[in-house]
Amino acid sequence: MFKKLYALLFLGMSFAANAQDGTRVYEFLNFTNSAKHAALGGYNVTSWDADPNNALANPALMNKEMHGQFGVNYVSHIADIKNASFSGVYRISEFDYVSLHGQMVDYGDMVGTDEIGTVVGDFKAKDAAITIGYAREISDYWSVGANLKYINSTIEMYKSSAVAADLGVSYHNFDDRIKMGLAFRNIGKQIETYSGLKEDLPFQVNFGIAHELEYVPLELSLTLHDLQKFDISQTYNKTGQEVSAGRKAIDHVAVGAELFPGRDFNLRLGYNFKRGNELAVDGIRSFSGLTYGFGIRMNAFRLEFGHGNYHTSGGANHFSLIINLDRIVQGRNYWRSNPWY
C-alpha cells in the first residue's frame, strides 16, 4: 500500500520540481466549479461525501456515497464570464470507481483591434475540457486516484489543445474525525499551440486537512493551495512596498467551516487569504476574500449555493445541482435497501 503511495507522491513532486515559470494557459482548469468548494474558501481537497464534484478537485475522493450521483454547476463570474460544468461518479467494484467531468467557459464578446489599436470587430473566446477519472480504496483509511483530461481552447481564429492528468491521495479516519488530501493537478503538455509556441499548463499542488468537532456538528478545513511555487503573490502591496515573505506564505491559505456536515441542510463560511490581501480596497469594507453558502437536500436532489467576494465591484455566484440518479432509477427499491439515505 505505502509503496503505491510513495510512488504517487514522488511522481507528483518530480513534476513540481520541473515546473517552469513561463506563460501559462488554460487557467480555467483551476476555476472553482463546485458551489460547496466556493463557499469553503475556493479550494478543498478533503471533502468525503456524496458530491461528485469533489472528484474533479481530487480524484482520490471518490467513494461509495458518490455512486450514481450526477452534478451540474454554473458560475456567474464578474466581467460577464460564464462557467458551466458537470460531474458524475460510478462504482464499478467494491473498491474501484470511475468518473466523468466536463468544463466549459465562455468569456463573452471581446473587442478586436489591429496593431495600431483600430477596432476591427468583436470576437469570442471559449475554453473546454473533458475528464475521465479512476480511484481505488487501497485500505480503510487511504485512497488514490487519477484524472485524465483533454483540453480545447479557441480565441478568435486561434485554436489550441492539450492533454493533462491529475493525481490524488486521500486519508480519511472517521474514528478520529480527521481527513487529509493531496492533489497534483494539470500535469501535461500542449498538443496544438495557438501560434507555434508551446506554453505551460497551470500545474497546481494542493494539500488540505479537515477535522469535525466531537460534540458540535461543525467541520473545520484548512487548505494550502499552489504549493508548487512559494511566491504566488503580487510584487508590491497597496503601499508600494515589496510583499514580505510572511505575506507570501499566508497567501497559500484558504480556510472553511461547515455547520451540519453530511446532513440535509448545511451552512458554510470560508476565507481566501490571497484574494483578501490583493483585492481589498483601503477605507472600504468590501469583505474581499470572504466566502459563504449553503446546501439543502430534497429527496433525490441537492441544491448548493456558494458566493465568493472578490472586490467592491462584485463577486462570483456558484450554483450546483446534485442528482441521485441511482435513487431515481431504482425508485422504491432504493428506499427499501437504503432507508437512511
Calpha distance 137→133 (Å, rounded): 14
Calpha distance 56→58 (Å, rounded): 6
Chain CA centroid to CA 212, Å? 21
**Longest pairwise C-alpha distance within the chain:** 70
What pLDDT was estimated at residue 77?
80
Assigned C-alpha cell, 26 = 488554460
Calpha distance 184→332 (Å, rounded): 41
What pLDDT was estimated at residue 31?
93
Assigned C-alpha cell, 341 = 439515505
The four Cα atoms 287, 321, 43, 129 give a dihedral, to 10 degrees, of -120
Q: Can you tell me whether residue 141 is helix, strand or coil?
A: coil
Distances from the Cα of 109 to the Cαs of 56, 104, 117, 170, 312, in angstroms? Answer: 28, 15, 17, 41, 23
What is the tally of structural domains in the chain?
1
* CA-wise closest residue to 23 among 197, 191, 208: 197
Instruction: List, in order, residues 6 or more apart from 335 with CB less than 8 Å away.
Output: 327
Quickly list H helices, 42-163: 54-57
Task: Give me the amino acid identity at 58.
Answer: N
Task: Give me the amino acid identity at 300.
Answer: A
- Contact between 42 and 55 under an 8 Å Cβ cutoff? The reply is no
What does DSSP assign to residue 47? -
Q: What are phi and psi of 71, to 5 degrees?
A: -120, 140
Which residue's C-alpha cell is 490583493?
278
Cβ of 281: how many Cβ atoms within 10 Å? Answer: 12
> What residue numbers bound the domain in which 11 lies?
2-337
Q: Can you tell me whether residue 336 is helix, strand or coil?
A: helix
Q: What is the mean pLDDT of each run of 10 residues along the chain (341 residues)?
A: 41 41 83 96 95 98 96 87 95 97 90 72 89 98 98 92 98 96 98 92 98 96 97 79 89 96 93 85 72 94 93 83 88 52 45
* CATH number of the domain residue 81 falls in: 2.40.160
What pLDDT was estimated at residue 157?
86
